[in-house]
């Protein structure tokens, strides 16, 4: 039980269904959909659509998504709703123009948005309610307005200049040339019309319609290479998950082009090194987490990419010999100096999870990459574009080098845990861009090894080794920070927080659902 004299949250309990999201309006709508007879897929799509409206700094229909769908008792299904680079976007185009890095606000940072296609195909395959019903509340919030929540208002203020630099974004997302503040009511009526069209015409409403023309005109007017065929030909990928055992549990992740394999690698290292022998908030644990991050991210940034262009042997990566080679670089009393592999940081994302009364679970993540994405908004349809293309490299032989029709190496990863009987016991995810693999590893260890409750596991102080710094939250014990610094870590105390997260545990023995939501975000877990 948590220490009641300290600030914190209790775990949320329910029997019939549960949702955990980054915004209360989203959680509420997921529960409403479940009560109407919708299943976890319906509720997850509805919740994501609401957040696409009420959390425009982090997500939107101009972004991407990944999901893991676990229909009770069946093998989990991985859903890849990420988009490709335009067919005309090749290295030669950029080299001829002496462009060696894709700018955060360039039209070249915009890959084909994949979220809407994934929503529609997930719904067609597994949903129960009509899509118009599923999207109705998101349309309502866009048309009639919603109050801006606290964390969202902070992000809005931080990116005021970005929004000012695009006329459409300035007109839509700023009020009197200033960001919307906590408690202000915001409307996006053009987006409401677009969501309504998607509910009616489904995939065609976004990828082959007047909305498509609006997106193309917006991007091409800025020098983008996008074509009608790029949008018309976009597809969502459904596949098996990739997985690995951790003690008596099976961890499920989405395959490449996401970095889910890194979670499996990290957990394999944790198990072999017996990290749980150290206290959960000890200097040793935070040091070893940092070192594991370095060796795994070194591999990620130099090896991974779109599997259609870059073949990777998953079995070899998870083999004992490969994992032991990584471990050989880690020392309990030394800091590992990894290769110069600059990692872009994409801090904004929404993660949500839903479990219904039949114990179907959806682990779902939707993102526009950086805060307010590319900062580019369409003229007529209210769509803010992601900037996922900044993750591409402009290096000829790099596995993540840009190429027409190629998906960039992603950051967003939903997670799922099953038992020996293939039953879902935990649907979870951690937000925070590049932090996500180590964030998932951190939370999983807290739950499995340190026997912490869902909410405790989410709340525990975080640290993240990135580009030579060890970023730590203010809540981390000062003496731990001091020891980390003394051993050679470059400590950077973040001014706010590292990531976010949601989890739902299915306690099958007692017939209850246990949910938690990260206080680092605006959201909550809710059940009935």
Residue 201, CA distances (Å) to 60, 82, 286, 390 in order: 18, 21, 50, 31
Give the Cα separation of 44 and 41 in Å (integer). 5
Show me where the domains of the chain are located.
17-238+350-391, 242-338+431-527
pLDDT at residue 342, rounded to an integer: 61
Buried b (16+ CB within 10 A) or exposed e, 224-235: bbbbeebbeebe
Residue 357: Cβ-neighbour burial (10 angstroms; 0-12, 13-18, 19+): middle
pTM score: 0.95
The CATH fold assigned to 242-338+431-527 is: Serum Albumin; Chain A, Domain 1 (1.10.246)
Q: Determine the Cα–Cα distance for residues 104 and 260; give it in Å rounded to an integer.
A: 24
d(CA 169, CA 160): 10
**13 Cβ contact list (under 8 Å, min separation 6):** 512, 513, 514, 515, 527
CA pair distance 33, 29, nearest whole angstrom = 6
CA angle 341, 342, 345 (to 5 degrees): 135
pLDDT at 4: 76
pLDDT of residue 341: 60
How many CA within 13 A on the CB side of residue 70? Answer: 31
Q: How far apart are the first and last CA of the chain?
A: 22
pLDDT value, residue 280: 95
What are the residue ranges in the chain where pLDDT is below 50? none
Q: Where are the beta strands (DSSP E) in 96-199?
A: 146-147, 174-175, 178-179, 185-186
Look up residue 366 and give its DSSP letter.
Answer: E
Q: How far apart are CA 276 and CA 177, in angstroms?
A: 51
Cα separations (Å) of 149 from 5, 156, 186, 213, 522? 26, 10, 11, 32, 7
- pLDDT value of position 371: 95
Q: What is the pLDDT of residue 247?
A: 94
Token duo for residue 275: 């990290």
Here the tokens at position 196 are 């309504």
Q: pLDDT value at position 7?
A: 78
pLDDT digit string (tens) for 10-65?
999 999 999 999 999 999 999 999 999 999 999 999 999 999 999 999 999 999 99
């Amino acid at each position: 039980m948590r220490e009641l004299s300290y600030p914190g949250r209790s775990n949320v309990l329910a029997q019939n269904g549960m949702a955990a999201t980054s915004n209360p309006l989203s959680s509420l709508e997921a529960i409403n959909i479940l009560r109407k007879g919708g299943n976890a897929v319906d509720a997850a799509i509805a919740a994501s659509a609401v957040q696409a409206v009420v959390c425009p700094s982090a997500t939107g229909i101009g972004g991407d998504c990944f999901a893991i769908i676990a229909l009770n008792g069946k093998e989990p299904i991985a859903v890849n709703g990420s988009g490709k680079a335009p067919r005309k976007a090749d290295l030669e185009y950029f080299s001829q123009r002496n462009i060696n890095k894709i700018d955060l606000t360039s039209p070249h940072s915009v890959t084909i948005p994949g979220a809407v296609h994934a929503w529609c195909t997930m719904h067609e395959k597994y949903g129960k309610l009509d899509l118009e019903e599923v999207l109705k509340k998101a349309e309502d919030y866009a048309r009639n307005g919603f109050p801006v929540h606290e964390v969202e208002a902070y992000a809005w203020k931080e990116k005021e200049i970005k929004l000012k630099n695009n006329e459409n974004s300035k007109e839509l997302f700023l009020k009197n040339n200033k960001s919307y503040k906590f408690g202000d009511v915001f409307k996006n009526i053009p987006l409401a019309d677009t969501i309504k069209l998607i509910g009616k015409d489904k995939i065609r409403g976004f990828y082959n319609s007047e909305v498509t023309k609006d997106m193309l005109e917006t991007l091409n007017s800025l020098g983008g290479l996008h074509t009608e065929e790029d949008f018309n030909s976009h597809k969502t990928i459904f596949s098996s998950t990739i997985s690995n055992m951790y003690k008596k549990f099976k961890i499920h992740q989405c395959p490449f082009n996401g970095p889910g394999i890194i979670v499996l690698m990290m957990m394999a290292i944790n198990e072999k090194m017996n990290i749980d022998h150290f206290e959960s908030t000890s200097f040793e644990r935070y040091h070893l987490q940092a070192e594991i991050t370095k060796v795994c991210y070194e591999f990620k940034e130099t090896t991974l990419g779109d599997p259609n262009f870059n073949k990777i042997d998953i079995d070899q990566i998870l083999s004992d010999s490969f994992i032991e080679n990584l471990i050989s670089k880690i020392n309990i009393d030394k800091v590992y100096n990894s290769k110069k592999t600059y990692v872009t940081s994409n801090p904004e994302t929404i993660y949500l999870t839903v479990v219904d009364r039949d114990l179907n679970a959806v682990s779902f993540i939707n993102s526009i990459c950086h805060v307010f994405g590319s900062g580019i908004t369409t003229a007529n349809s209210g769509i803010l574009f992601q900037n996922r293309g900044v993750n591409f490299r402009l290096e000829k032989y790099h596995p993540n080098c840009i190429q027409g029709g190629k998906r960039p190496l992603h950051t967003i990863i939903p997670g799922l845990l099953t038992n020996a009987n293939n039953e879902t016991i935990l649907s979870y995810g951690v937000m925070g861009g590049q932090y996500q693999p180590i964030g998932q590893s951190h939370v999983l260890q807290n739950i499995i090894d340190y026997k912490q409750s869902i909410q405790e596991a989410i709340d525990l102080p975080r640290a993240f080794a990135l580009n030579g710094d060890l970023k730590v939250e203010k809540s981390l014990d000062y003496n731990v920070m001091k020891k980390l610094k003394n051993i050679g870590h470059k400590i950077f105390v973040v001014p706010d927080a590292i990531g976010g997260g949601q989890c739902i545990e299915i306690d099958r023995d007692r017939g209850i659902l246990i949910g938690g939501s990260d206080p680092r975000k605006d959201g909550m877990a809710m059940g009935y």
